[in-house]
Structure 1
Amino acid sequence: MSAPIIWYLIKFFTEERYAEQFMTGGLYLNTLEYFKKVETENSDGRIDSTEAVAAWLQPDDLKIKLNIPEIGDCEITKKDLAGPVCLSFDHHNYLHLFCMYAIYTTGFEAIDGKIDCAPEDVEDLQRQVKIDERCLKFGKFAVITPAAAFLDNLKKALKIQNYKATGKLVEYYDNEVFHGMIPMADIPFRKQKRFSYQREFRLCVDAGGKTDSALTINIGDISHICVKVDADKLPGLLEIKTEPVP
């Protein structure tokens, strides 16, 4: 299967002034720990208490042996556990994240900037680019930017400012089935399947040190490659138009 092709990136904002700040090049990054706040029924979907899990261990495949001073050896098995056990590293809490919704396709080739798609695959293609309405809760303003142009500006700015950063699509795992360790480099880019509708592209910046303060990175004015719209207009703006191959 061919690698995913990212066509557009979308950033949602609760206030128009934040959208304007983004378009002039100001990227506001919260720490990963910020996104691990306690989830509630009223959460808009961006808070995830299981962010940056390094290991997700199912009870049926787990046996823990402990040696407790003044008590002795203790063994924990599935009968002692109410659910999976997760492990994480403190280091990841201090990474800074910039998250965007990605319009991307998987399993299709791109030819001269267009998607090569057989008639019988059009429905699948439309499904891939459709924005889940749950994402509209992230803010009533949205800024759309072509992925290639935005990422080019971003890479140049990060290099000039000597930031250690990685950007890529988030992968989603089935937390009801997955059992094991997540590779260290992938830990900030793995989330549970309940968040898969967000189709997230994530920039992860290691600014060094331990801080819970947000970080602002300026990548230069990008207003010439962006368009700002009301978020509720997005579903009608992003539609697949087909044309026959000559």
Structure 2
Amino acid sequence: MASIFAFVKLFENKEYAEDFVNGKLFMNTIRSFKEYRDKSGELRGDDHEGIIAMYQPSQLGELKLGDVTILPSELAAPIVIHGEHLLNQNVFCIYSLNSRGYDNVSEETIREFKKTLELHNSCFGLGKYCVVVTNASEFIKRCQVAIKSKGFHGSLGLVDYFDEREFHGEMPLEKLGYQKRSMFKEQREYRIKIDTMRKLPDHYTLNVGDLSDITALTTPAELNEKLEIKLPDGTNA
């Protein structure tokens, strides 16, 4: 199981960063990410958001639409199926500094591990300000308390990344809303997902209380520059 050392949330607007420090978690619907079109390569939009299944043409038999038969060789791309109810749920997305991919870290792997934890260049386009959550477990606890106090159905967890060229079948039920294509893997995303059960789904702000005691405001470049890893034997990077 991966350990989470800290969270990082990027913002283009300093006012939004300060709102987060004050405990206001702005949560868009999953549908909004599906329909969003990136303008500057920021990788916010993903038309595969909210999928519940993907079927590769090479692994399908014939498809029939009435009297029309469609052969797998005639399909230009995988068949992607979205979940309507899933698309209506709200998510808060945040970058996680986690140990996924490393069972242990040694003197030989510490520099590679540090590189994994650093914000990837592809994430810089998501915002010029970033808020570092220095106590991950306390942040998770406050989110869970807030969700419970509102009576929402909710869950929290790391996003898994799949190879869209190879994956075939239904997404695991327990991971719906936590699956993204491998092209987004550098975001190392952690999500908070809630179902507000509203008739007209829209963005929602979850108030988890003041976070100023467990956060620090900086920039992506400064975060990478100041990040340091130290092993028990004193080895650092």
TM-score when normalising by structure 2: 0.91
Secondary structure (helix, strand or coil) at the match of 1:120 reads coil
The answer to whether structure 1 residue 16 and structure 2 residue 5 are counterparts is: no
1:153 aligned counterpart, secondary structure? helix
Task: Look up the match of 1:200.
Answer: 189
Deviation at 1:187, TM superposition (A): 2.0
Q: Which residue of 2 aligns with 1:119?
A: 107
Equivalent-residue separation in structure 1 for 2:53 and 2:158 (angstroms): 20
- Tell me, in whole angstroms, the C-alpha distance in 1 between the residues paired with 2:211 and 2:219: 19
Question: Structure 1 residue 42 and structure 2 residue 40: aligned?
Answer: yes
Corresponding residue for residue 186 of structure 1: 175
Q: How does 1:46-125 map to 2 (within 5 A)?
A: 46-68=44-66, 72=67, 74-106=68-100, 117-125=105-113
Closer/same/farther in 2, CA of residues 159 and 212 from structure 1, 3 Å limit: closer
Determine if contact 1:30/1:215 at 8 Å carries over to the other structure: yes
Deviation at 1:108, TM superposition (A): 5.0
* Structure 2: 5+ residue stretches without partners: none
Is 2:116 the partner of 1:131?
no
Tell whether the 8 Å contact from 1:94 to 1:210 is kept in structure 2 after alignment. Answer: no
1:143 corresponds to which residue?
131
Distance 1:43 1:121 in 2: 31
TM-score (norm. length: structure 1): 0.88
Instruction: Give the distance between the partners of 1:211 and 1:239, measured in 2 at CA.
Output: 46
More strand by share: 1
Deviation at 1:121, TM superposition (A): 2.5
Distance in structure 2 (CA, Å) of the matches to 1:204 and 1:223: 23
CA distance in 2, matches of 1:244, 1:94: 49
The residue identity in structure 2 corresponding to 1:148 is S
Q: Which sits farther off after the overlay, 125-134 or 96-105? A: 125-134
Tell me the equivalent position of 1:170.
159
Aligned pair count reads 233
| Larger radius of gyration between Structure 1 and Structure 2 | 1
Q: 5+ unaligned residues in a row in structure 1: which ranges? A: 110-115
Change in 2 beyond 3 A, CA 1:37/1:125 = same
Q: Deviations over 1:40-87 (max 9, x none)?
A: 56341010011121111111111243252xxx3x32222211111111
